[in-house]
Amino acid sequence: MSDTKETPVNSTHLSEKEIQHFKERLLDEQTEAEQKIRTLQESIDEIESKMDDNASGTAHHQGDLGSGEEIRETNYTLIEKQNEKLEKITAALGRIETGNYGICLTTGKPIQKERLEAIPYATQSVDAKQGKISPEQKERLSVNQAI
């Protein structure tokens, strides 16, 4: 049995040094998102603790409780956004491993380095994101999506 690695579907237009740079950026963003989730969860826990205190008879102003509830709901929404970002980062790291990082999933063409600098987990080129793709590319997409 031979020891084979998964071969890339597309070859990336980025050098090994650039790939390493983006991998480090993705790992930094991953750490940052995980820290934000922890901080937001701590805030939720604190708010819920205060709400529990109120339920047990501790006097609180009704406005404080409403405000706490709004903050809690906002924090849950922010946690959801950070989890979505983590999923995108994980997928981008996977594309690095398979040799497909920096390739637009819509057009199959390279994503501009400037876009990857701004959003290292981007899956589409600027043109694809803005819907500026050729009729041939649209046809290819509809065929691929039908499969």
Q: Tell me whether residue 21 is in a domain.
A: yes
Q: What is the mean pLDDT of residues 102-112?
A: 93
Per-residue pLDDT of 39-84, as tens digits, reads 999 999 998 887 766 655 545 555 555 688 899 999 999 999 999 9
Residue 12 has pLDDT above 90, yes or no: no
Report how far residue 79's alpha carbon sits from residue 89's, in angstroms, rounded to the nearest whole number. Answer: 15
Token pair 């994101």 is found at 129
* Three-state SS at 125: coil
Domain total in the chain: 2
Which of 67, 85, 100 terminates a domain? The answer is: 100
* Three-state SS at 110: strand
Instruction: Quickly state the pLDDT bin for 11 (edges 50, 70, 90).
Output: low
Q: Are residues 92 and 30 in the same domain?
A: yes
Q: Are residues 35 and 62 in the same domain?
A: yes
Q: Are residues 112 and 141 in the same domain?
A: yes
Q: Are residues 31 and 63 in the same domain?
A: yes
| 3-class DSSP string for 9-76 | CCCCCCCHHHHHHHHHHHHHHHHHHHHHHHHHHHHHHHHHHHHHHHHCCCCCCHHHHHHHHHHHHHHH
Report how far residue 127's alpha carbon sits from residue 91's, in angstroms, rounded to the nearest whole number. Answer: 21
Cα-based angle 13, 14, 19 (whole degrees, multiple of 5): 145
Q: Are residues 94 and 111 in the same domain?
A: no
Q: Are residues 42 and 78 in the same domain?
A: yes
Domain span including residue 133:
102-147
Q: Are residues 35 and 93 in the same domain?
A: yes
Q: Tell me whether residue 2 is in a domain.
A: no
